[in-house]
Amino acid sequence: MKTLNQLNKEQLLAVEYNSGPHMIVAGAGSGKTRVLMFKIAFLIEKGMEPSEILALTFTNKAAKEMKERIKGLIGKKAESLWMGTFHSIFARILRIESDKLNYRPNFSIYDREDSVSLVSNIMSTMNINLDSLSPNGVQHKISFMKNQMTSPEEYLKHIATTPADKKVAEIYIEYNKRLFENNAMDFDDLLLKPIELFNNNEKILNKYKKMFKYILVDEYQDTNKAQYELLKLLSPNKDKICVVGDDAQSIYSWRGAEIKNMLNFKKDFKGSKIFRLQQNYRSTKMILAAADSVIKNNTGQIPKTLWTENNDGEELTMLRASDEKDEGFQIAKRIKKEISIRKLSLNDIAIFYRINSQSRALEDAFRREKIPYKIVGGVEFYRRKEVKDVLAYLRMLSNQNDEESLLRIMNFPQRGIGNTSISKMILFARKLNITLFATMARVFEVIEVKERIQKNVKQFKQLLDKYINLKDKLSIGELTAALVDELGILKIYKEEGTQESLARFDNIQELVSAVQEYSKSNREASLDDFLSEVSLMAGVDQYDDKVNSVTMMTIHSAKGLEFPIVFITGCEEDIFPLSQKFDSDSKLEEERRLFYVALTRAKEKVFISYARSRYRFGEVAYQSKSRFLDELDESTFEESNGASGKKAGRKKKTFYDEFYQESYDEYDQERRSLRVGSRVTHSVFGMGKILQILGTGDMQRVTIAFEEFGTKQLLSKFANLKLI
């Protein structure tokens, strides 16, 4: 390939190597996407069919962009590559082989919200007190267990020790049962079910081992146990496999990602070779030096040293603010100044934060200063209520067993079918072991449901039947437009006339347009194909770098992106690193890797901000500067007071730091028991503040305002709270 001369020496060696398993350790900004793209093109040029290559990426957006670039190198035959995320690729395989697992190929894919709804319905049926267990917390635990490949039976036998754990195990068992009855899978099942399929059917496993002659994996450091097992099962002779990653950017352990998959690669794949991409093409020397000075404090990592031929660049600027409002004000002023000086566009600037709740004060400042902004990974378009309502209709047309979708739309728009009547229908369905959809046809047998409501149910069933019959006669776009029109929801939102209802009106129109555009671009695609693609979209997949506005996102969402100017906000203890006091060393190292990821997104300039105080848990909390700022090489940054940009020197510890750290430590020693005002941490909900305590002993209940999950009431006995 003539275009291989675009690669540096180490990149070229990695692309051309084909003599066994190999791992490409690709430092931040070292051109790993280019290497993967050229490696795939090189394999095809050497005679491999595109359909024989399985390329697994971290996001759908990355897969789409990479495939387009490969098409530019080898033409349209790149279309037949099996390229996508683990979830999208194995969802595709599961639809082909669904009958082997007693599923139908039109199975629904439940996102987190759907899963929480299902857990909530199960807990209601089982009469479980929501004070001791929350549907959100239970769903999180179930997902974590699935990521660890722990079945409910194993969880009950070997892990569950408390009464609350045993309740979770019961819910977990029923949850899996109901998923199967609904002909549905959650995100975790998209990895677990293929393992089940391959382990129980050697013929099917051999079919895909024979089909995929070469496997490439991007972002290998963020693979979990299930993904690792799938790779081991599919790797042909364990030699035609290439993984790419950077252990210094492993930031997803809370999703079950295991950095040891990368650290143990040489042990797991005997005779493997390691290539190191250490030349950075993105950042200045100053940014790399700052990033290196922090990440070198981690112990468990693969040795490498990033270097660059880029210019020295500017020092990082540290902004010290009085509180979160001042922080937002300073950042807004700096943005205006940077745009003026550097002649940049707004979309050249990104604001990173550790937790979503930090965005509020920043948004207030940007609105006040009239700075356009967009939030990536907030409420994603396909997760908005009105959009999910329409999608629930489409899912019902595709999969009549999908009870969660049917419950969502049973009385939307309002048709006089109340919760009591729905509960009676569900009991009837459970008693006869039939679906809720089938019960609608027999609603007149449910004598507890009033005759007027029975008629409403019958009319609703007729509407669904009509569009079920039409789905194979109309295009997806025509079907969706006709359904939305007949439901009259656009008219309802327009007549309501509020700002919120008009936004919902616009979103539904946008959805109809999106479906019609998809239908035109994918004429052979079915409704199932569209629903599958939508269900697997993540917030970052919808990121549009063409919109001229400042980008705001959590650092986790920023993975894989780059910007000329980056602001890293809220760099204070208990925020970044998050809730460190009771965390293990491995958690601290992951927080440090996250800080490293934030720094290495920047091309030209980094601003780091921290506040002396911040309004948290309903009161003003005095903050201490993040330990990561003390780890920065002093030669790589300057401190600034206020938006004026006046330098404040580089003293390692200020009077403020020492005073508040001492005060905080004294305050910490005073607390010995739960009391109103205590700050606590919970294994699922994170950090919070106790607002109220009622009762004593086993019946003591505490009301806690959690930073990310709102107010919860818990039984002290089962909550396992830790004082901070």
Active site residues: 32-33, 218-219, 249, 601
- Output the six-digit token pair for 244: 């790419």
Give 592-658 as a DSSP string: HHHHHHHHTTEEEEEEEEEESEEEETTEEEE--B-HHHHHS-GGGEEEEETTTTEEEE--SS-HHHH
Q: How many residues does the chain have?
A: 724
Q: Name residues whose C-beta falls within 8 Å of residue 9's C-beta, 6 or more positions apart in sequence.
A: none
Q: Which amino acid is at 563?
A: F
Give the H or E element holding residue 392: helix 385-398
Those residues with Cβ within 8 angstroms of residue 456's Cβ, 6 or more apart along the chain or in another chain: 415, 416, 417
Q: Are 430 and 438 contacting, i.e. CB atoms less than 8 angstroms apart?
A: no
Asked whether the beta carbons of 150 and 172 are under 8 A apart, the reply is: no
Residue with tokens 């994918």: 522
Q: Report the side by side order of strands in the sheet with 316-321.
A: 373-375, 550-554, 349-353, 563-568, 602-611, 316-321, 637-641, 646-649
User: Tokens standing for 454?
Assistant: 């029975």
d(CA 410, CA 393): 10
- Kindly state the DSSP code that residue 574 receives in the 8-state scheme: B
Give yes or no for a cis peptide into 372 (omega within 30° of 0).
no
**Dihedral over Cα of 506, 507, 509, 513: its sign:** positive
Cβ atoms of 23 and 265 within 8 Å: the answer is: yes
- Residue 9 is given by DSSP the state H
**Residues in CB range of 374: below 8 A, 6 or more apart:** 544, 547, 549, 550, 551, 552
What's 26-70 look like in SS3? ECCCCCHHHHHHHHHHHHHHCCCCHHHEEEEECCHHHHHHHHHHH
- With residue 551 as reference, give the H or E element that holds it: strand 550-554
For residue 252, which amino acid is it?
Y
Helix 202-211 to helix 189-200 angle (10° resolution) is: 110
Helices (H), 522-602: 527-535, 585-599
Question: Count of alpha carbons within 13 Å of 97, Cβ hemisphere only?
Answer: 23
Residue 544 tokens read as 């549009």
* Alpha-carbon gap, residue 24 to 32, rounded angstroms: 8
Q: Which helix (H) or strand (E) holds 336?
A: helix 324-342
CA dist 219 → 88, 139, 216, 479 (Å): 16, 26, 10, 38
Helix (H) or strand (E) holding 24: strand 22-26
CA distances from 481 to 51, 387, 394, 488 (A): 35, 13, 11, 11
Nearest to 593 by CA among 362, 302, 261, 357: 302
For residue 602, list its beta bridge partners.
563
C-alpha 205/C-alpha 100 separation (Å) is 12
- Angle subtended at Cα 531 by Cα 529 and Cα 533, rounded to the nearest 5 degrees: 70
End-to-end distance of the chain based on CA atoms, in angstroms? 59
